[in-house]
Amino acid sequence: MFKLMPQVKKIWIYGAAAGIIIASSSTMAYALNNNIPENASASVVSSANVPKENNQAPASNVKITAEYNVVDQSKITPDLEHTKALLTDKLSVSGKDITPEQVEEKSKLYLANTIPGDKDISAEQAAAYAATILKKAYGVNFTGYTADTSFSRSTVPNSDNWTVIFHAPNEDKSSKRYLASVNSVSGSMLNASLYDFTDSEVDSKNVQDPEWMKTAEADIAKLMPENVSITSSKVVAATPLIGVMVVSELSDGSACAVRLSGENKEAVAYQYFPNGYDGSWDYHPVTANGVG
């Protein structure tokens, strides 16, 4: 549903993603998740602009509900050979050279970083925080859904996270899946999105219309606490294939970005920047050589 670019541009996206995979076990966890289609990879990435310190108290009082079933991937016995095969497959798309020894080393590191520690919230707590975020963003009722949770530890301080994907009952290719990543200690939002596995292109019309900005600000505002307001906003990308991407600076020094797409200006992806916007959503058109 959310193919951003035609085939020649997708190759560039995968190449860039492969570089991130090699450098970051946290992003590698996202990239190796087969519950996320390739064409969603450019829509949402884990926040690179992580907090310098965690000022929020550990999450202990979040309400855990029986509304949905929680699957904790961190408790499933890891499969090294399967992980190596997945990583090799992902990297082969980009043409990146990596030795079998490097694949094994990175696969072992990835698996070691998928187990939460004593300071981290549980999978059930992470799912509860993610559900709260996604309900605010999309108004979805998760009754009967399955929350698939994956933990990822990072070498960057205070950036360990849980990624939660909500699967609908009797899911098929056209069913929307809802994803949110939250800080593993505080439960605070890193990113959120929706997607499916269909191949249809979404064409966004009249992307210069000021209504896109108004809609984006309204979508961002409903995710923010009452004491945080938008101080300024800017469009960082606007094309029929991508849709419109807006970044809003917030009164507490943080920022939030949203990508809107389609006739209804649907918010298909959000990203939160705790330390202010870092420029990572700025659009650079892809050239004939696949360089943006």
3-state secondary structure 87-139: HHHHHHHHCCCCCHHHHHHHHHHHHHCCCCCCCCCCHHHHHHHHHHHHHHHHC
Would you list the domain boundaries of the chain? 202-292
Helix (H, G, I), strand (E, B) or coil at 243: strand
CA–CA distance from 183 to each of 102, 115, 121 (Å)? 28, 14, 9
Q: How far, in Å, CA of 235 to CA of 216, rounded?
A: 10
H-assigned helices in 32-99: 80-94
Query: Based on the number of CB atoms within 10 Å of its own CB, is 265 exposed (0-12), middle (13-18) or buried (19 or more)?
Result: buried
Backbone dihedral angles phi then psi of residue 159, each to the nearest 5 degrees: -120, 10
pLDDT, tens only, 9-64: 332 233 333 333 333 444 445 445 555 554 443 343 333 343 433 333 344 456 77
pLDDT at 116 over 50: yes
Nearest by Cα to 232 from 208, 266, 255, 258? 255
pLDDT, tens only, 62-89: 677 789 999 999 998 778 888 788 888 8
Helix (H, G, I), strand (E, B) or coil at 23: helix
What pLDDT score does 152 carry?
Answer: 93
Nearest by Cα to 84 from 64, 106, 99, 66? 106
**What percentage of the chain has pLDDT greater than the value 90?**
54
Supply the DSSP symbol for 56: S
What pLDDT score does 9 carry?
Answer: 32
Supply the DSSP symbol for 204: P
Strands 69-72 and 146-152: parallel
Residue 19: HSE in the Cβ half-sphere, 13 Å Cα cutoff: 5
pTM reported for the whole predicted model: 0.77
Lowest model confidence (mean pLDDT) among 123-127, 173-177, 285-289: 285-289
Element (H, E) at 11: helix 7-23
